[in-house]
Structure 1
Amino acid sequence: MKYQKVTSVLAIIVSTTFTACQAQRVEQSDIPSAVLKAFQEKYPQAQAVEWEKESDTELEAEFDLNGEEMSANFSQDGTWMETETEIKRKDLPKAVQSTLKSQFAGYEIEESEKVATPEQPEAYEVEIEKGETTLSVMLDKNGKVLKQETAEPEDEDEDRG
């Protein structure tokens, strides 16, 4: 009986924590006008736009542009922070592919994105997997590893399809 109570409490804690960490969908009508203006100026041709609240200070637009799946993050005051564009692994620069092959041998590429920020106009974020280990690796266009961290497995419901 005691075991069941502990298990139930742990399940509730894990469920609550997981839910709290997920981005929240937000209606466009609830997006600050400065953010909408900045987004529309940067991506006037964007289609199928969906907004999420990443944190109290950051909003993300997921959208399609010229047949590509993209996301762009903005601060509450409309400052552009980052854009990610999904790309195929074959479209990664040769230097990035070479680094992944030499420094992460045995890992399979699960997802790859071209990333642009004000500080780093061209970088690549790659999610790689080997057994139970999933890593998120950020590389510059020359294949230099900028950041590497253990990635949390994504919830399939969050994928855009």
Structure 2
Amino acid sequence: MKNKKYVIGLPIALILGLGIYAFAQRTSAPLRVQASFVKKFPNVKKVTWDKESEKEWEAEFKMDGIEYSANFLEDGTWKETEHEIKKNDIPENVVTTLKKQFSEYSIDEVEFIEDPNGSQYEIGLEKGKEEIEVLIGTDGQLIKTLDEPRD
């Protein structure tokens, strides 16, 4: 009877332990990534990590009451930071580009993105059931049009 408890209990404990370990691995970024995050965002105290891909981690956090996400590669290299902004906060030069080139669309959502190459606005646009995304630089120049929105 005692051996039966071990035969049943040991595999269950092993499975639970491996599950907890796998979950911890998925939600705890490598130390290099965490160190890069702290260096880039020294005043952020609460951060949630998620593994975006095999070699990329995403941090979700709040700064000044605004929700941000920042992506880092496994080696700690910062990839990008983004946060949503209100439609009213879109700069006039970006609004002018939208009116000229996408007048038939309405703005769904806007994110401000910073990466090693600079800053840009990622704007989700809608026209009926059609959705597109555009990237517009801080200078108001159209960078790219994406037919299918990114996740």
TM class by smaller structure? 0.7 to 0.9
Q: Does 2:58 align with 1:60?
A: yes
CA distance in structure 2 between the aligned counterparts of 1:100 and 1:54, rounded to whole angstroms: 31
Percent identical: 41
Per-residue CA distance 1:79-119 (angstroms, 9 max, x = gap): 00101021111111111111111111121111111111111
| Aligned residue among 119, 122, 126 for 1:125 | 122
CA distance in structure 2 between the aligned counterparts of 1:26 and 1:100, rounded to whole angstroms: 39
Mapping for residues 92-111 of structure 1, pairs under 5 Å:
92-111=90-109
Deviation at 1:153, TM superposition (A): 8.2
The 8 Å contact of residues 27 and 51 in structure 2, kept in 1 or not, is answered as no
The 8 Å contact of residues 135 and 144 in structure 2, kept in 1 or not, is answered as yes
Structure 1, unpaired ranges of 5+: 1-24, 155-161
Aligned to 1:27: 27
The 8 Å contact of residues 133 and 150 in structure 1, kept in 2 or not, is answered as no
Q: TM-score, normalising length from structure 2?
A: 0.78
CA distance in structure 1 between the aligned counterparts of 2:45 and 2:112, rounded to whole angstroms: 19
Letter in 1 for 2:59: A
Count of aligned pairs: 127
Aligned to 1:4: none
Structure 1 residues 140, 58: CA separation in 2 closer, same or farther (over 3 Å shift)? same
CA distance in structure 1 between the aligned counterparts of 2:150 and 2:130, rounded to whole angstroms: 9
Larger radius of gyration: 2
The 8 Å contact of residues 134 and 153 in structure 1, kept in 2 or not, is answered as no
CA distance in structure 2 between the aligned counterparts of 1:101 and 1:47, rounded to whole angstroms: 40
Structure 2, unpaired ranges of 5+: 1-24
Q: TM-score, normalising length from structure 1?
A: 0.73
Structure 1 residues 146, 37: CA separation in 2 closer, same or farther (over 3 Å shift)? same
Letter in 2 for 1:26: R
| Aligned residue among 42, 45, 58 for 1:44 | 42
Structure 1 residues 141, 153: CA separation in 2 closer, same or farther (over 3 Å shift)? closer
